Amino acid sequence: MPKAPIIKKNEEMEEYEEETGKLAIWKGELSKHFEKWKKQKEKDEIKKQKEEILSQSRVEKRKMKKEIREDKVAGKDYDHLIMAENLHKTYLLGTTAVAALRGVDLTIDTGNFVDIMGPSGSGKTTLLNLIGGLDTPTRGKVFLEGSNISMLSDNDLAEIRRERIGFVFQFYNLLPQMTAMENVMVPLHFSGKLSRRGKRKRAMDLLRLVELDERAHHTPSELSGGEQQRVAIARAFANDPAICVLDEPTGDLDSKTGVMILNLIRDLNRRGATFVAVSHDAAVSEFASRVFHMRDGKLTHEGKVAGLKETEIMQLKRQQETEINKEKCKSKIFQYLYANQGKTEISVVDIKNSVPDSIILNLPEHFNDILQELIDDNNIYAKIEGNLLILQ
Ligand SMILES: Nc1ncnc2c1ncn2[C@@H]1O[C@H](COP(=O)(O)OP(=O)(O)OP(=O)(O)O)[C@@H](O)[C@H]1O
Ligand SMILES: [Mg+2]
């Protein structure tokens, strides 16, 4: 009878014996229990390997997510309300590619009133549309409050537009069948945060802000161009946006009304609202805090430069004239205050109405600032509170 081969003990068997206190070989044969133990050990090993792979991939995934997040919120991006980085936009017209933007870098901070000037076709509207999330760039990124809006889905982008950005266009874009108040309420309906009463109150407050509360129930056809644009500005502020973008806000208005709108925008800006406007109109740059020039899809330079059509001599002359107007304005205000001695309150609008339009429209500063300067220079005990001058 052939002898059964002698089984030699290996490391695994020794491990088994140590772990279980049982013999791996019994009467010259492998113990059944050892074989079971061995199979279980192999299974455990495979499970362990699988878990390791899974946990590695979890770490990888987390790392990747973190990298994406970091890419979106890189420290510097949070330093600015808007940060546009290397923006390119190419439109395809049939087989022709039109490079409307060719590498634009721009940062905008809270409280800025930015004006981007440039000739027709230079890419102003295209840039504004990208900043306002109305379109996405072909290349480059736009960060709004630290998040890359050029990467968002259509739904998320629509929410950002509704909640964080206000829009004002050249032709006001009001709904013709609705009253001023109903037009201002439209964005409030979409955001759905207020009750019907809350919406009416908010709309009325906004109309008061643009001094149109008395025209709240008029439809656009019953309002002048300037009044319609004021309604459009009130509507842009309905959801308390982080930034208000304006495309040719004075483009359809005569210069006098345009200046009134610019005064309103500057007023709102001084109260903390952030604006970015694009325009042909050199007057806009007179009111803005930062002025950029655009040419052939590129921002050329920043600076408070006078109107494109003005030569240096014309600019100097205009500045001298506005200074003269300021003095004339002060003297008219003085006359009015003198005639109204003894009153404890005077309407600022009434004081303003006592100054001829030809002076008001050519002032270097806002009327209220000039009134304040006059009060300070003459040690008059008075303060401006909203629409009233309170005399003590
Ligand atoms: N949807 C479009 N499809 C194709 N080309 C376009 C489109 N929109 C703009 N363009 C082109 O891109 C360039 C920049 O246009 P954009 O409207 O941004 O200029 P703009 O500076 O706003 O001009 P304007 O002062 O006349 O409003 C132009 O050459 C224009 O023809
Ligand atoms: Mg345009």
CA 94 to chain centre: 33
Ligand 1 within 6 A of CB of 284: no
Tokens of 251: 């483009």
* Residue 308 Cα distances to 112, 116, 240, 288, 311, angstroms: 21, 12, 33, 15, 8
Ligand nearest to the CA of 118: 1
SS3 231: helix
CATH 1.10.3470 for the 315-391 domain, yes or no: no
pLDDT digits (tens, 9 = 90+) for 285-303: 888 888 999 999 999 877 6
Query: Angle at Cα 269 formed by Cα 175 and Cα 249, nearest 5°?
Result: 40
- Residue located nearest, by CA, to atom 18 of ligand 1: 123
One fold for 78-302 and 315-391: no
* pLDDT for position 307: 38
Compute the distance between CA of residue 183 and CA of residue 181 in angstroms, rounded to an integer.
5
CA distances from 255 to 9, 204, 221, 263 (A): 103, 28, 21, 12
In three-state secondary structure terms, 381 is coil
Closest approach atom of ligand 1 to CA 118: 21
Which of 87, 90, 101, 124 maximizes ligand 1 atoms within 8 Å of its Cβ, making it the mutation to test the pocket?
A: 124
Structural domain boundaries in the chain: 11-71, 78-302, 315-391
Q: Ligand 1, residue 101: give the atom nearest the CA.
A: 14
- Give residue 248's pLDDT: 92
Return the ligand 1 atom nearest residue 92 CA.
4
Q: What is the phi/psi pair of residue 216, to 5°? A: -55, -30
Pairing of strands 82-93, 139-144: antiparallel
Q: What's 78-302's CATH class?
A: alpha beta
Determine the residue of 122, 134, 171, 300 to mutate for testing ligand 1's pocket, defined as the one with the most ligand atoms within 8 A of the Cβ atom.
122
The alpha carbon of 91 and the centre of ligand 1 are apart by a number of angstroms equal to: 9
Atom 3, ligand 1: which residue's CA is nearest? 91
Q: How many CA atoms lie within 13 A of 293 on its CB side?
A: 12
Contact 370, 377 (CB under 8 A): no
What are the C-alpha distances in Å from 375 to residues 143, 334, 366, 368, 384? 44, 9, 15, 10, 10
Question: Which residues in the chain come in under a pLDDT of 70?
Answer: 1-5, 61, 64-78, 303-315, 318, 361
CB of 124 shorter than 6 A to ligand 1? yes
pLDDT score for 153 = 86
DSSP 8-class letter at 113: E
Ligand 1 mean position, distance from CA 337 (Å): 51
Atom in ligand 1 nearest the alpha carbon of residue 294: 21
Nearest CA residue ID for atom 2, ligand 1: 91
129 lines ligand 1 (CB under 6 A): no
Any ligand 1 atom below 6 A from CB of 198: no
Pairing relation of β-strands 165-168 and 25-26? Answer: unpaired
Is the C-beta atom of 78 inside 6 A of ligand 1?
no
CA of 102 relative to ligand 1 center, distance in Å: 13
Cβ < 5 A residues, ion ligand 2: 124-125
Asked if residue 137 has its Cβ within 6 Å of ligand 1, the reply is no
